[in-house]
Copies of this chain bind each other. A is one copy, B any other.
Amino acid sequence: MSSVDEQLSIIKRGCDELLVEAELAERIATGRQLRVKLGMDPTAPDLHLGHTVVLNKLRQFQDLGHHVQFLIGDFTGMIGDPTGKNTTRPPLSREQIQDNARTYREQVFKILDPERTEILFNSEWSDKLGAAGMIRVASTYTVARMLERDDFGKRFRASQPIAIHEFLYPLMQGYDSVAMKCDIELGGTDQKFNLLVGRELQKHFGQRPQCILTMPLLEGLDGVNKMSKSLGNYVGIDEPPGEIFGKLMSISDELMWRYIELLSFESLQTIARWRREVADGRNPRDVKAGFAREIVARFHDPAAARHAEEEFEARFRQGAMPEDMAEVNVAAGNQPVPVAQVLKASGLTASTSEALRMIEQGGVRIDGERVADKSLKLDPGCTVVLQVGKRKFARVTLT
Q: Give the interface of A toward B (CB within 8 A).
A: 75-76, 78-79, 81-83, 126-127, 129-136, 138-144, 146-147, 156, 159, 161-165, 167-168, 171-172
Contact = CB atoms under 8 A, between A and B. Distances in A.
A141 to B, nearest CB: 5
Given A131-B129, A131-B130, A134-B131, A171 B162 contact: no
Contacts of A141: 163-164
A165 B136 contact: yes
Nearest to A137: B165
A196 to B, nearest CB: 15
A135 B135 CA distance: 10
A126 B131 contact: yes
A316 to B, nearest CB: 53
B78 A132 contact: yes
A139 B163 contact: yes
Contacts of A161: 142-144
Contacts of A126: 131-132
5 contacts: A126-B131, A127-B132, A138-B163, A138-B167, A144-B162
Say how many copies of this protein the assembly contains: 2
A171 B164 CA distance: 10
Nearest to A126: B131
B163 A164 contact: no
A83 B164 CA distance: 19
A146 B168 CA distance: 15
Contacts of A147: 143
B144 A164 contact: no
Most buried by B among A83, A126, A138, A144: A138
A164 B146 contact: yes
Given A131-B129, A134-B131, A83 B139 contact: yes
A78 B78 CA distance: 28
A146 B78 CA distance: 26
Contacts of A143: 143, 147, 156, 161-164, 167
B136 A79 contact: yes
A152 to B, nearest CB: 8
A139 B144 CA distance: 19
Contacts of A140: 82-83, 163
